[in-house]
Chain A
Amino acid sequence: MNLTQLRDVLDERSATDHSDFPGHRMLDGVHHRLRIRRRRQQVAAAAAAFVAVAAVGVGTLVAPDHQRGTPTATPSTPPPTHTIEGFPEYDGGHRVIAAKTALPPAKSVSLTFTPTTITNLSFLTRCEGAFPHKLSLNGQPVSEGDQCSGFVTIPEPGKELRLAVGKPATVELTFTEGAPTTDFAVAVGVPVDPATYPYPPRPATLTPLELPTGNPDAKDPADRVIVLRSDPTNPLLPVSKTFTWPGTDVVVHANTPGGVTVTINGSKGATCRFWSYGLAGCGLGDGDSRKDSRGKTIRRGDTVTLTAVPDGTSGEWAVIIENYIIDSED
C-alpha cells in the first residue's frame, strides 16, 4: 500500500481550481442562508403555522412498473407508468397534478394551479446539475437550495401562503446564481392515501441500512449517537428506549415502504412515511423545541423515553438521534 500516493491524490484532487476559493463568497452564502432561515422562522411564528419538509432529501424517481395497493397487497389496478413534464406521476407519496417546463435562457418557471386540497401539498423541482434556487408560493418563499431535483411538502400552510381550495395559486422556481443549460420544471403534487399508493415491486433483496455506530464511550451522555433499530424478527413491533436527550433532530431511516411514528415522552410526533424500497431518510426536525405530552419543553440533558411505532414496514427501519445538528437560533 502506497500511502504517499494516496496522500498525493487527495492533495492534488482537492486543489484543482479551488485552492484559491474566496472566503468572502462562502460568507455571503452563509449569511444568505441565515437570512432565509430567520425569515422563515418569523413567518412561521407570525402565522402560527408551520412549513416543514416532511420528507428530507430529494424524491426518488419511480420505477416504471408500479403496483397499486399496500406494500404487500396484490395489485388490483393496472399500474400508472407515465410521467408529466418529466416528473413521475407518482413519487414520494404524492401524485403530480400540474407541471410546467421552461427552457434556457429562462431563469425561472412559474406554474398556476387550482388546488383541490391545501394540506400536504408537495412542490417538486427538476433540472440537471446544481444551481442555487428558491421556490416561492404565491410570492412567499417556501424552499431554497442548490440541488435541482427534489420536493418540499407543506403539511399545514400558513395564512401568508394564501392557499384556498378552488382558488388559483402560483408556484415559481427561480434560479438565483446561474441557471441550467437544459430544460427545467416545477410541479405540484397532492398526497395519495398509503393504502392506495402504487408502490414499486419489492426487490428480491433489500439494501441493508448503513447506520452510524453508537458512541457509548462519550463522556457526556448527550454526545452519544442513539440508534433504535427495528426488531429483526418482526419489523412491525414498536421499539422504545430511554436516554439522555441530545437536543437535536430525529431522523428515521427505512428500506421498505411503510410508516414510523415517533413519540417522545408521550408526545406524538409526525409520522415518517416511506414509499419505495430504496434507502430513505426522513427528518422530524425541531430538535431544540420539542415538548412532552404535558407541554413541557424537552431540553438537552433531559431523560426521555422515545417510542417508535411502525406501520406497514416489511424490512429494516431505524431511528437515529445524533448530536451534530444543533440548529437553534441563538
Chain B
Amino acid sequence: MTSEGFDEFVVSRSARLLRTAFLLTQDWALAEDLLQASMVKAWSAWRRIEGDPEPYVRRVMVNTNTSWWRRRWRAEVPTEQLPESATDPYAGHDEREQLWQALRRLPARQRAVIVLRYFEELSEAEIADAMGCTVGTVKSQASKALAKLRLDENLTREGVLR
C-alpha cells in the first residue's frame, strides 16, 4: 500500500486540512471522517495528480461534504433538548458565537466559499477549481453568503456585522 509521497502528504498536511474540514462540517468527528474519506479518494487518484496534491484533496473534500450535507438532511431529527454548551470556550463571546451560528446556517456550498476565501485565503479562480464551478458562480455564492451573514436576523439585531 504505497504510493510515492502519499504517506508524507497525509502526515504533514492533515492538521491544516482538518481545520478546513471542521469549518466545512462544524463537527470534529465529521471533519475527521470527511478528511479520511477524501484522503482515500486521493490515494486512488494519486498517480494521476499533477503538482501539489493539496488542491485536489481540498476539492474532493469540498464536494464530498456537499454530498454528505445533502444526505445528512435525511438523518437530521429534531430534538427538544439542546446539547450541553458548558464546555464551549466561546459561550461567553456572544458576537462571535452568533457569527459562528450564522455560518452554520449557510448552505453547504456558500459556507465552502466563505471557508476557502477567508480561511484558506484562496483566490476566486482557485475556489472555482476547488468547487468545480465557474468564477462567476464563486462570486455569486460569495455575495449571497456575505449578504446572508450581514442580513442574518440575529446578527442584525445584535449589530455584530454592522
B-binding residues in A (CB < 8 A): 1-3, 5-16, 18-27, 29-31, 33-35, 37-38, 56-61, 129-130, 145-147, 149-150, 207, 210, 212-213, 215-218, 223, 225, 251, 253, 276, 278-281, 322-330
Quick one: CB contact mask for B101-140 with A, threshold 8 Å, 1 for yes?
0010001010000110011000000000000111001000
Main secondary structure of the interface of B (DSSP, over half): helix
A141 and B119 CA atoms in complex are apart in Å by: 39
Contact partners of B43 in chain A: CB under 8 A = 30, 34
Within the complex, which residue of B77, B133, B137 is in contact with A61, where a contact is CB–CB below 8 Å?
A: B77
Contact (Cβ within 8 A) B18 A278 = no
A13-B100, A33-B36, A213-B133 known; A7-B15 Cβ under 8 A: no
Contact partners of A281 in chain B: CB under 8 A = 67, 70-71, 74
A-binding residues in B (CB < 8 A): 1, 3, 7, 10-15, 18-20, 22-23, 28-30, 32-33, 35-37, 39-41, 43-48, 59-60, 63-64, 66-68, 70-75, 77, 89-90, 95-96, 99-100, 103, 107, 109, 114-115, 118-119, 132-134, 137, 146, 149-150, 160-161
Nearest opposing residue in chain A for B71, CB measure: A57
Contact partners of B14 in chain A: CB under 8 A = 21-23, 25-27
Q: How far is the CB of B135 from chain A (nearest CB, A)?
A: 8
A59 and B28 CA atoms in complex are apart in Å by: 22
Contact partners of B28 in chain A: CB under 8 A = 18
Contact (Cβ within 8 A) B132 A9 = no
Within the complex, which residue of B18, B29, B115 is in contact with A21, where a contact is CB–CB below 8 Å?
A: B18
Contact partners of A276 in chain B: CB under 8 A = 74
Q: Which 7 A-B pairs have the closest CB atoms?
A: A57-B71, A23-B11, A14-B19, A130-B29, A26-B14, A324-B63, A23-B14
Contact (Cβ within 8 A) B22 A18 = yes
A137 and B11 CA atoms in complex are apart in Å by: 34
Sampled A-B contacts (7; CB under 8 Å): A16-B89, A26-B11, A26-B14, A26-B36, A147-B33, A150-B75, A322-B63
Contact partners of A330 in chain B: CB under 8 A = 3, 44-47
Nearest opposing residue in chain B for A325, CB measure: B41
A18-B22, A29-B36, A330-B47 known; A278-B73 Cβ under 8 A: yes
